[in-house]
Amino acid sequence: MKHYSKEEWKKYVLNDLNEHERELYESHLYTCDQCMDLYVQIVTEHEEALPDLLHEKTFTNAVMDEIMKSTAEQYDQLEDKPHSLIAEDTTKDQYQVSKKKKKRYDQSSAFHYLLAAGMTVILMVSGAFHSVIEIAETVQSSQFQKEKTSVTEDLMDKTFSWMDSIDEKMKEGDKK
């Protein structure tokens, strides 16, 4: 990944780049935290040189108007579709509000809770949980018994074999 230098970000902040380069820098900011930190540092250093918003409310209203225009264009594109999708007396604002409020039933959390509760009841009635518990208990008990007996048995076997080897060596020593 290519990182831009402090001087390059300074050009970006002071608007000394063409539109294509600005777009490249902006897309890079979305993916690179290191360059984002450098960009914030340069903006902080040069904030006196940047223009002030004299009419913040006017600027905010202009941005909101642009957003409304773009949503109106999207609504107009929907009007080209069959009228069965949109009621004729629906205004653009009503359409946007109703679109936000309407949610499919299968996307609600209440539906998911009811579905999970229903599946739990079905599994309990069918005995699936009981059979899973029985299988887990048998596996666990067999592993526990193997581990418990194997440690002591191994220790005793090694001790007896060691004692037998000593006993055999003593018998061989007596025969000679």
pLDDT digits (tens, 9 = 90+) for 136-175: 888 877 766 655 557 788 888 899 999 999 988 888 877 6
58 in any annotated domain: no
Q: What residues make up the domain containing 11?
A: 1-51
35 in any annotated domain: yes
Residue 44 has pLDDT above 80, yes or no: yes
Q: For residues 1-30, give the mean pLDDT.
A: 88
Rounded-to-integer distance, Cα 94 and Cα 153, Å: 80
- Counting the structural domains of the chain, the total is 2
Q: Where are the alpha helices (DSSP H) in the chain?
A: 6-13, 19-31, 33-45, 56-79, 92-101, 109-126, 128-175
CA angle (169, 172, 174) in 5-degree steps: 110
Which one is predicted more confidently, 146 or 40?
40
82 in any annotated domain: no
State the DSSP code for 157: H
103 in any annotated domain: no
Rounded-to-integer distance, Cα 75 and Cα 159, Å: 87
Rounded-to-integer distance, Cα 91 and Cα 97, Å: 10
81-128 per-position pLDDT tens digit = 555 444 554 555 555 555 555 667 777 888 899 999 999 999 888 888
Burial 110-139 (b: 16+ CB within 10 A, else e): eeeeeeeeeeeeeeeeeeeeeeeeeeeeee
CB 35 within 8 A of CB 4: yes
90 in any annotated domain: no
93 in any annotated domain: no
Rounded mean pLDDT of the chain?
80
21 in any annotated domain: yes
Residue 163: the pLDDT is 92
Tokens of 176: 């000679």
